[in-house]
Amino acid sequence: MTRSSVTALHGPRVLAALSGGSEDAALIRSAHRLAERERLPWGAVHVDGGHNDADRRLILEQDASRVARLGGEMHMVQGQDRAAELLHYADEHRVATLLVGCSRPSGWRFWRRSLPERLLRSGGAFDLVMIAETRKRPRFRPRRTWQRLHLREPVIAGVSSLGALGAAWLLQAWLELANLSLVFLAAVLASAALAGTRAAMLSALLGFLSFNFFFTQPRFSLAILEKEQLLSVVFFLLVAVVVGQLAGTGRRRLHALRHSREQSQRLLAYSRSLSAATDRDQVCDIGLTSLERWLHVPVAFLDFEPGGSRPSIHQAIPQGTVLDATALTAASWSWQHRRPSGVGTGQLDEDDQDWRMLPLSARGRIIGVVGLELGQRPAPLQPDHEALLESLLGQFAMALERTRLVGELETTRLSEENERLRSALLSSVSHDLRTPLASIIGSASSLRDLGTQLSHQDKAELLDGILSESERLDRYIQNLLDMTRLGHGNLRIERDWISLDDLVAAAVQRLGPAALDTLDLQLDWPIGLPLLHVHPALIEQALVNVIDNAARFSPPGGQIRLQGRLDNDHRQLEIRVMDQGPGIAPEMRETVFDMFHTGSEGDRSRYGSGLGLAICRGMVGAHGGSVDARLGPQGRGTMITLHLPLPVAAPTQDQETHHDE
């Protein structure tokens, strides 16, 4: 016996006892209403005795979802005695009001009291409310369908009885008459185990008759003379009926358990594979594949344009499945009304339909429609299949919704990132454009407005300032353009042979004298370095940015050393730019290469726009090289190293080479 472990304090105070019958709906409604009025937590419980047929299981599934929808809790309790289990549960959870249906005790056990009666007699500490069924229905339920009689039931009963007869005939010399009945009892048990209660009952009847006919006096007649023998036969019948019933119930319960285990395993496997799916297409694929494998009919997932009503097949299995106009109409209907339509739903003139359309919705939003070509199945779906189908589709819808939410989250994150980058770009660009402009405008307005009061030297100085700041602005705009090109990935690399001497000369020239004003630039590389095969303008820009950076951080009169060397296995040329500035903190040595890493600091940073080093890395990276920042020599300043891969067979410098700049 297992019970759900709910602490008494938080358990339902209003409890509906569900049976899986038609009165459940009324019970749930009443319990909910009562609980609302009293402002108490409520719930429902079902005592599962192991003999719920498919109909009852379907009703219970619906009950569970109804209870959940109305905010209650549904619990299942395993046990044979409904009244006792209910009492125990109510006691344990301190239930204040128990609602039960007024159903009659089941069929043949006429001597049993009804459930309400038994609950009343046991006198639990709760109010008992009996709910009459609201739906009219015949007293004896014609719905209680006998499962179809299989041929194997009478056959097994007959064969086992015949076997028992033979065995008893052989054993009659050694066994007393009363003991011979045990042989027939064995046949009853065997029938029960193999074919269920009905076969057992048949076997009991056959056993009774043959025992009576062949073994009691007078033999070969159904008449019985001795009172003792009559008792034996009657006892046999009684024992056989009871044992057969019990064994049959055991078998049925085993079947039910196996069945529900299969269903839950199918559901589990399904939800596991769905939860592993990362996008909509994968979810569709997994969902449809499992449906197809299970039902063996073509399945399709239909999608609708936002606002439109024309369905389009998002995915179908087997591929290339087509839907006729009727099916598409059904799909549109289901989309609009959010209700299933087509085969087995009673909607839209079932006879013309081959498909059943089932809308998928999550959180009140319709996501799509799943079509099943159930017309291809010989028989309609079993009620428990319907229940499983509903669960599978529920999971399907949830998985689709999950992927949609994940996608949305990702989009939001990306646009936030973009927004952040954009504002960093704007503040950085505006600052970097405005700083040289401030000098230019200030100097130019001084020249115009105060011209007469300025000495020659002052005027020259102001003009120099205007020029050098204009050059700085130009470099910055070049960087911006380069960055745009790098960002769009349409940077065309036109390689040419060029020596390090030429590259450095061009870079220093572009920086202009003002940038390196008071600084001491030292160039240091061995003669005969191999030529580089690079896009000269791009690498020159990379060098300009690194040297500009070093100059900006150098103390007045500081030294900038530019060193060129081959790496150990002669595959790369290393260009090192070392300054005597404040250096870069170890944790910043990677982030200085991020675009706009200084953006958040705005005006306060001397790193400039944060574009220079990022562009340097981009340019060198485009050539298959790399750039890193390290502590300068003697633990002072910064050393930025450009690693440029050399071509396999590099011409040496004495071959005449050119680059057109």
Partner 1 sequence: MTNERDKVLVIDDEPQIRRFLRISLVSQGFSVIEADTGAQGIARAREETPDLVLLDLGLPDMDGQAVLDELRAQGSVPVIIVSVRGQEAEKVRALDSGANDYVTKPFGIQELLARVRSLLRHQKSPDTTEGVEHYRHAGLTVDLSAHRVSLHGTSVRLTPKEYAVLALLVRQAGRVVTQAQLLRDVWGASHTHDSHYLRIVISKLRHKLGDDPQSPRLLQTEAGIGYRLLAPRDVAT
Kindly list the residues in this chain that would bind partner 1 in the complex (CB under 8 A). Answer: 427, 430-431, 434-443, 445-446, 449-450, 453-455, 458, 461-462, 465, 468-469, 602-606
Cβ at position 427, least distance to partner 1 in Å: 7
Who's near 333: CB < 8 A, 6+ residues apart? Answer: 341, 347, 348, 357
Distance CA 608, CA 435 (A): 10
CA 553 to chain centre: 51
Q: Do residues 375 and 353 lie in contact, with contact meaning Cβ atoms separated by under 8 Å?
A: yes
Nearer to partner 1, 205 or 433 (CB): 433
By beta-carbon proximity to partner 1, the closer residue of 124 and 442 is 442
Residue 549: CB minimum distance to partner 1, A: 14
Q: Which residue's CB is nearer to partner 1, number 264 or number 430? A: 430
Which residue's CB is nearer to partner 1, number 276 or number 460? Answer: 460
Q: Which neighbouring-strand residues pair with 342? A: 347, 356
Q: Are 355 and 327 in contact (CB under 8 A)?
A: yes
d(CA 103, CA 114): 7
Shortest Cβ 444–partner 1 spacing (Å): 9
Q: What is the DSSP letter of 570?
A: S
What is the three-class DSSP state of 37? helix
**Alpha carbon separation from 619 to 483, 545, 614, 624 (Å, rounded):** 9, 11, 9, 9
Strand partners, 639: 578, 630
Q: Give me the DSSP letters along 157-192.
A: HHHHHHHHHHHHHHHTTTS-HHHHHHHHHHHHHHHH
On whether the CB atoms of residues 47 and 41 are closer than 8 A, the answer is no
Q: What does the block give as tokens for 613? A: 């080093």
Q: How far is the CB of 371 from partner 1 (least distance, A)?
A: 57
Residue at 6: amino acid letter: V
Question: Nearer Cβ to partner 1, position 2 or 453?
Answer: 453
CB 153 within 8 A of CB 195: yes
Containing 515, the helix (H) or strand (E) segment is helix 500-515
Report in angstroms how near the CB of residue 605 gets to partner 1 at its nearest. Answer: 7
Nearer to partner 1, 290 or 428 (CB): 428
- In angstroms, give the least distance from the CB of 508 to partner 1: 20
Closest CB to partner 1 among 149 and 441?
A: 441
Minimal distance in Å, beta carbon 447 to partner 1?
9
Distance in Å, CB of 448 to partner 1, minimum: 8
The smaller minimum CB distance to partner 1, of residues 102 and 437, is found at 437
Measured from the CB of residue 310, what is the shortest distance to partner 1 in angstroms?
50
- For residues 130 and 454, which CB has a smaller minimum distance to partner 1 in the complex? 454
Q: How far apart are CA 359 and CA 367, in angstroms?
A: 8
Other C-beta atoms closer than 10 Å to the C-beta of 520 total: 12
